[in-house]
Structure 1
């Protein structure tokens, strides 16, 4: 599977998801910090330039290593997903299609491509309803191995809550060629479904090529998310994907919130991605 060569364009698309009201923290695994001794500064957010109310957490898994537990830098607490949930929505659609024994319809395929490549919200709205909203996402995530992701209320998929380590679990379901999470079990997503998601993530629009790709040496496939909260005016900015650098393949998830602008959030996410990958490669 070919992965996209990093574009030099870091222009940030400024479309915003509609999200009303503050969201209480989702029930998820308790927040933890990285236990890798010496792998990152004790205060990772500060070390990568998070200021004011901004928070950031990064998780990295070396696919060519022997372990299958990611290194987590910062508190592994819940964040709003914004548009990174679109990968999970597509994975959920594909699981339902697999179960039916049919293929995606032409309309569903067009919506999937618009949703991932251009982060089209109308397409995401339709596919979110297609999977059955949050209950459908929950059912799919149980099969995909996610344990700390809670679907957004009603049609507000962008307010889904997740953790960096849970995003690594999702990325493993798409990109990992190692043993399945449970010994003896087959991957939930068929090879054709996995390949389809990978292809779309390697073809995102140029103005959305920022994020974890900043840590890539050559190839990458990603999905970004950005959302300005109505209640505070602050920005959630996230990026998840697979990168190649130094001859190794890494799954990387960086989640942030409390950013004063999207530009600041993008810069913070990219600094965090580079720092987390560098720290992981050193061990």
Structure 2
């Protein structure tokens, strides 16, 4: 048997060779995310054990709310209110009335001021020609030589006899109303009998008609639209007034109408067309009634056209 001293020496040697053992982690807790985006993890050992982990790991960068630029939708522009404000600056003669509508071609934004119906006078000639072209398209035919001659004189010279001839060709008020229903002119009705100049319309409806003449989303073919536009660009010199006043020095295409009412002696004066201002195209319709003279009516229409376009062209 070994002595007790030898036994103690062997136990001491085995104790020195034994590896150190550490207790397992009791818990791992995530303390949070710093402003810089680092996540800190802390480890806790059982009582008497060594701490074995105190590590940090990068997290996806975060941005302080105070430095984040909020994504905000741009506020909608109240075009109707801006147009109303602009039209309030127009001096309207006592007893007269004026209405206007504008569409910015690129954005498609539009607004109308006043919803009353007015006599068309000669601006209906654009509607007559658009109806003729639509009917010809439906029939799969081109305009005849005579129809083209009438159309040119009707638009460029505002010839009434030519308008009457084509008024009959389209089926007078019934033909016009049928086409206008397709064009989307809900507030327009053809004049009775031969009285095409007393067709009733609104500024908003005239804007819809201009979209058929100048817009790509039209019932009229590209060739038909180009044809009408060309005639509206070629009106004779003494009729180059109206909405063109809003496009001084720039391009325009228009048709005007003027009529002295026999019952009152007062004038209907209207103007519709497309104008270009600082490189931007606008469709514009201005209707008026009740002025004491044609000259006063023209002045009113031009002032209204400039005000209406300025409500869109002015910086917000």
Equivalent in the alignment of 1:24: none
- What is the distance in 2 between the residues matched to 1:270 and 1:111? 28
Equivalent in the alignment of 2:149: 110
Equivalent in the alignment of 1:133: 172
Structure 1 runs of 4+ with >4 Å offset: none
In the superposition, the TM-score normalised over structure 2's length comes to 0.73
Shift of 1:36: 2.8
Shift of 1:47: 2.7
Number of aligned residues: 237
Query: For 1:142, what is the secondary structure of its paired residue?
Result: helix
Shift of 1:145: 1.7
- What is the distance in 1 between the residues matched to 2:82 and 2:145? 50
Equivalent residue in structure 2 for 1:253, among 273, 277, 285: 285
Superimposed CA distance per residue, residues 110-166 of structure 1 (whole angstroms, 9 cap, x where no aligned partner): 000000000000000000010001110011111212111010011100000000000
Shift of 1:37: 3.2
Equivalent in the alignment of 2:219: 188
- What is the distance in 2 between the residues matched to 1:237 and 1:108? 27
Equivalent residue in structure 2 for 1:41, among 64, 81, 85: 85
Pairwise mapping of residues 205-216 of structure 1 onto structure 2 (< 5 A)?
A: 205-216=236-247
CA contact (8 A) 1:82 1:159 kept: yes
Equivalent in the alignment of 1:166: 205
- What is the distance in 2 between the residues matched to 1:219 and 1:116? 18
1:243 aligns with 2:275: yes
- What is the distance in 1 between the residues matched to 2:299 and 2:202? 20
Report which structure shows greater RCO (CA 8 Å, sep ≥6).
1
Aligned-pair Cα RMSD in Å = 1.4
1:273 aligns with 2:305: yes
1:65 aligns with 2:107: yes
- What is the distance in 2 between the residues matched to 1:71 and 1:77? 15
Equivalent in the alignment of 2:263: 231
Taking a change above 3 Å as real, the CA distance of residues 39 and 93 of structure 1, as seen in their structure-2 partners, is closer
In the superposition, the TM-score normalised over structure 1's length comes to 0.81
Query: For 2:163, what is the secondary structure of its paired residue?
Result: helix
Query: For 1:36, what is the secondary structure of its paired residue?
Result: helix
Taking a change above 3 Å as real, the CA distance of residues 39 and 156 of structure 1, as seen in their structure-2 partners, is closer
- What is the distance in 1 between the residues matched to 2:295 and 2:132? 32
1:93 aligns with 2:132: yes
1:151 aligns with 2:195: no
Shift of 1:90: 0.2
Query: For 1:48, what is the secondary structure of its paired residue?
Result: coil
Unaligned runs of 5+ residues in structure 1 are 1-33, 181-186
CA contact (8 A) 1:71 1:280 kept: no
Query: For 2:84, what is the secondary structure of its paired residue?
Result: coil
